[in-house]
Amino acid sequence: MTVISAPQDFNEDELYVDLEPVFAQSLFLKCEGFNFAGSIKVKAATEMVEAAERAGLITPESVLVESSSGNLGVALSMIAASKGHRFLCVTDSRCNLPTRQLMEALGSQVHVIAEPDPIGGFLGARLDYVRALCAADPRYLWLNQYTNDGNWRAHFRTTAPAITRQFPRLDVLFVGAGTTGTLMGCARFFAEWPRPVRVVAVDAVGSVSFGGPPGRRMIPGLGMSIHPPLLDQSFVSDVIRVEEADAIRACHRLARRGFLFGGSTGTVVSGALQWLARHDAERLTAVAIAPDLGERYLDTIYQTNWLRDLYGEDVLGSDELTAGLQSA
């Protein structure tokens, strides 16, 4: 029996889905969404808040503030509620309504940026707002997931070692790239691992994290409109960029088999399958990290009108649509 007194004390860290029956490709999906925050972001959020507490940075007057497209905001809302801290999440219009409502239900304030910065996009506009807020009022404490080493250290300490316990002969690991905290924590860990492991970054088309032109990105989570400060590409074996339509197709194929995952997971799975198809993968032990679950995407990637308005009538074929969308 598991008994906890704080929500961040629980996280299922040993659940994997064998994707071979779904995609006819040997790939194990590490599920990180089974905690009270609903995503892998609970790890970085806990690490950053507790480091700030140890350093004496959080006072009774403090208001924690962070820029987030959604999942980290939920994790910080949960931890702030548990610890009695105040929290303000600065997000943008791509953050879906259930995520905003969840943060507010946990007692957090949410500020939505409606217009992107002409150069830095929505992320640039969010960061400008946070900087201005902190400069105007010393009560605000910016945890800054984009530069905070606690972001990657959380995964160096927890995520990567958990994978080696289950897959000691791992050959390749696929990790989605947002702030690159998960990516860098795992990549730094496996750089020290005695067995060679290829760590492949999965990014969204339109993200500038690994170079290339910026483009429209409507699925929150992965990708950046600025270069990630935490990223050290020398630790990364390869980079795969995934079109949002392909991420959506992966989500719907999984849903048809009863696995409802979020957009970030669909992106990682699609990228992993593309990479494995290009390599001699028959004898490789491959794991992909699933950062999120799908409930918060019911009004977006699992909703007919949203899909058709943004991606056109042909984004999903009849064999890829979930039953609910087929009958819509």
Give pLDDT tens digits for 162-221: 999 999 999 999 999 999 999 999 999 999 999 999 999 999 999 999 998 888 888 888
Report the pLDDT averaged over residues 96-120. 93
* 108 and 199 fall within a common domain: no
CA dist., res. 328 & res. 325, Å (int): 5
Residue numbers of the domain that contains 119 = 41-142
Average pLDDT, the chain: 93
Closest to 302 measured CA to CA, from 319, 322, 320? 322
1 falls within a domain? no
**Last residue of one domain, picked from the residues 142, 159, 185:** 142
The reply to whether 107 and 169 lie within a common domain is: no
Q: Name which of 55, 90, 52 is nearest 72 in CA terms.
A: 90
CA 20 vs CA 17, 34, 263: distances in Å: 9, 22, 20
Give residue 221's pLDDT: 81
pLDDT at 118: 87
pLDDT > 50? residue 294:
yes
**Order of strands across the sheet that contains 172-176:** 16-18, 28-31, 286-290, 172-176, 198-204, 238-242
Let me know if residue 174 belongs to a domain.
yes
Residue 324's pLDDT is 47
Same-domain check for residues 19 and 53: no
2 falls within a domain: no
Higher pLDDT among residues 94 and 291, named by residue = 291
pLDDT at 323: 43
Instruction: Please check whether residue 300 lies inside any domain of the structure.
Output: yes
CATH code (residue 246): 3.40.50.1100
Residue 94 has pLDDT above 90, yes or no: no
| Least confident segment among 6-10, 291-295, 300-304, 320-324 | 320-324
237 and 163 inside one domain: yes
Same domain, residue pair 259 and 288: yes
- Number of domains into which the chain is organized: 2
262 and 241 housed in the same domain: yes
Q: Residue 194 has what pLDDT? A: 95
User: Could you tell me if 65 and 90 are in contact, meaning their C-beta atoms sit under 8 angstroms apart?
Assistant: yes
Within this chain, do residues 28 and 49 fall inside the same structural domain, yes or no? no
What average pLDDT does range 88-110 have in this prediction? Answer: 94
Residues 53 and 25 in one domain: no
* pLDDT attached to residue 121: 85
- The reply to whether 116 and 259 lie within a common domain is no
Last residue in a domain, options 112, 142, 172:
142
Same domain, 19 and 65: no
Residue in 58, 222, 210 with CA at minimum distance from that of residue 143 = 58
* Averaged pLDDT for residues 222-246: 95
Out of 101, 116, 142, pick the residue that ends a domain.
142
Residues 190 and 321 in one domain: yes
Q: What is the pLDDT of residue 326?
A: 45
pLDDT band for 327, please (50, 70, 90 cuts).
Answer: very low
Q: Check: CB of residue 203 under 8 Å from CB of residue 241.
A: yes
Q: Tell me whether residue 28 is exposed, middle or buried, using C-beta atoms within 10 angstroms of its C-beta: 0 to 12, 13 to 18, 19 or more.
A: middle
Q: Are residues 181 and 320 in the same domain?
A: yes
Query: What is the C-alpha separation between 106 and 81, in angstroms, rounded?
Result: 6
